[in-house]
């Protein structure tokens, strides 16, 4: 879901991360 660059330890959210976040938000909204 989140790609971590081993050299810089920078975290890059992938598309699946945004999809998963939106799905959880929709479930909480009912």
pLDDT digits (tens, 9 = 90+) for 1-30: 888 999 999 998 888 888 999 999 999 998
What domain range includes position 27?
1-30
Q: What angle do CA 25, 27, 30 make, to 5 degrees?
A: 110
pLDDT at 4: 92
Q: What is the pTM of this model?
A: 0.47
| CA proximity to 14, closest of 3, 6, 23, 30 | 3
Domain tally, the chain: 1
Q: What angle do CA 13, 1, 9 make, to 5 degrees?
A: 55
């Amino acid at each position: 879901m989140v790609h971590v660059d081993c050299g810089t330890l920078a975290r890059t959210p992938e598309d699946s991360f945004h999809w998963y976040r939106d799905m959880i938000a929709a479930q909480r909204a009912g």
